[in-house]
Amino acid sequence: MRFSCERDLLSESIGIASRALESRSFGNGVHLDLTGDNLVIYAHETDILIEVRIEVLGHEDGSCVIPTPLTSDLIKSLGEGIVEIDVDDMALTMRSQRAKMSVNLVADFNPPYLRDETVAPVTVDAGELKEALAQVIRASAKGDARDFVYTGVLFAAIDGGLRLVATDGVRMAIRDLRGVNLLESDSEVIVPARSLTELEKLLALRSQKEELRVSVGDKEAAFEIGDFLLVTRLIEERYRDYRQVIQPSYPKRLVVSKREIVEALRRLRRMARENRDMTNLRLDITETRLFMSVHIPQVGTATEELEATYIGDEEISLAFDPELLNEGIDAVGSEYAALEIVATNKAVRIANADNSDLTYLLMPIRQ
């Protein structure tokens, strides 16, 4: 296999494909397949495949598996401009200006990624999905969670659109996408959060006006935008009913500037980090003011006072984990954030003040 390509394009494309590999040690490889002037770069594990297609100047067709991140780093270290790539049975050789380097090819120990039955794609607004993923993924459980199903994000069909749900057992994020008819009525699937995190990164590299094509089958979901393709296995388990933690109404409602509360949280969180495991952030809510405070015995106290609008039958005080509260406020997509409250022992709903598309539920901490 022989081809020529612009240095940065080749290095970045190999790096993007390699994100499919959780472990990027020398033995894990990225595939290069050249046909004419079309180079397909991809990597996969058992549950995810990332593919990048780029145009090069092809001289001889072929395929190989290269080590990563070594190859990508070496290509990036070459001089700017065109890089010449020559592959034989044993090694890949790269040339640029006066530099010449070679790396041994690696054996591909992973079985081929077998695609599921093809499903007709649905066009989705790339910018809207990227925003929704950023708001929801943060609430999913980590990979070592005891309940594997919560390491994924639920995609559920609702009237007039699609709902994304994630929870780690402490908080829950819900985002509705109006007009996105991706699934059949009353159907739902669970997509691994790790795969969606990589999708969010891919979307950040493309114009948000580009067409994103999404297809969801019985066992996998595929996302394609421009020259990028991400395919992921679905989590074939049943998501527990999340609706039971959503209250039918929230009689108390606080509205505050998102910018101002985010700034206040930034300062208060710094104090709280001095005793992360034992420190709560207290909110004291009155009709026109929000008082926020962190107190650490023998360390210090930090307080903030913000203008706010509160509707409720009585003033109320709550305490939260400062980092989890910050993530909920940060997810808000409007100028003003709303905190909707039932009681001090019920999950508080954090939402956009001007619409109901986002719900972030967070349990207060007993004071």
* The two structure tokens encoding residue 135: 């708001």
- pLDDT higher than threshold 60 for residue 24: no
For the cut 90, the answer to whether the pLDDT of residue 251 exceeds it is yes
* Count of alpha carbons within 13 angstroms of residue 30, beta-carbon side: 32
Token look-up 């209250």 returns: 247
Cβ-contact 282, 344 below 8 angstroms = no
HSE-CB for 59 with a 13 A CA cutoff: 9
Long-range contacts of 205-213 (CB under 8 A, 24+ apart): 205/16, 206/126, 207/126, 208/126, 208/127, 208/130, 209/126, 209/127, 210/126, 211/123, 211/126, 212/123, 212/124, 212/125, 212/126, 212/129, 213/121, 213/122, 213/123, 213/124
Q: Are strands 82-87 and 57-60 parallel, antiparallel or unpaired?
A: unpaired
Q: What is the C-alpha to C-alpha distance for residues 327 and 332, in angstroms, rounded to an integer? A: 9
SS3 136: helix
Residue 279: which of 290, 292, 291 has the closest Cα? 292
**200 and 192 Cβ atoms separated by less than 8 Å:** no
Question: What pLDDT is recorded for position 278?
Answer: 72
Strands (E) across 143-240 are located at: 152-158, 161-167, 171-178, 188-192, 211-216, 220-225, 228-233
Lowest-confidence pick of 12-26, 34-48, 254-268, 334-348: 12-26
pLDDT of residue 146: 72
Task: Tell me the two tokens of residue 264.
Answer: 């206040």
pLDDT tops 50 at residue 26: no
C-alpha span between 150 and 155 (Å, rounded): 12
149 pLDDT band, cuts 50/70/90, is very high
Residue range 261-268: average pLDDT? 97
Give the integer Cα–Cα distance in Å for 318 and 323: 15
Distance of CA 319 to the CA centre of its chain: 28
Question: If DSSP codes are grouped into helix, strand and coil, which group holds residue 98?
Answer: coil
Work out the average pLDDT over 10-19.
95
Tell which wins on pLDDT, 207 or 38: 38
Q: How many angstroms separate the CA atoms of 79 and 232, rounded?
A: 36
Q: Are the CB atoms for 87 and 71 separated by under 8 Å?
A: no
Q: Locate 85 and state its tokens.
A: 């790539």
Distances (CA, A) of 298 to 28, 130, 275, 367: 50, 44, 11, 19
Tally of helices (H runs) and strands (E runs) in the chain: 6, 26
CB-based contact 174:183 (threshold 8 Å): no
Closest by Cα among 136, 183, 179, 174 to 161: 179
For residue 107, pLDDT over 90 is answered with no
Q: Domains of the chain by range and CATH?
A: 2-104 (3.10.150.10), 122-222+230-244 (3.10.150.10), 248-362 (3.10.150.10)
**Residue of 231 and 109 predicted with greater confidence:** 231
Token look-up 């079309």 returns 38
Radius of gyration of the chain (CA): 25
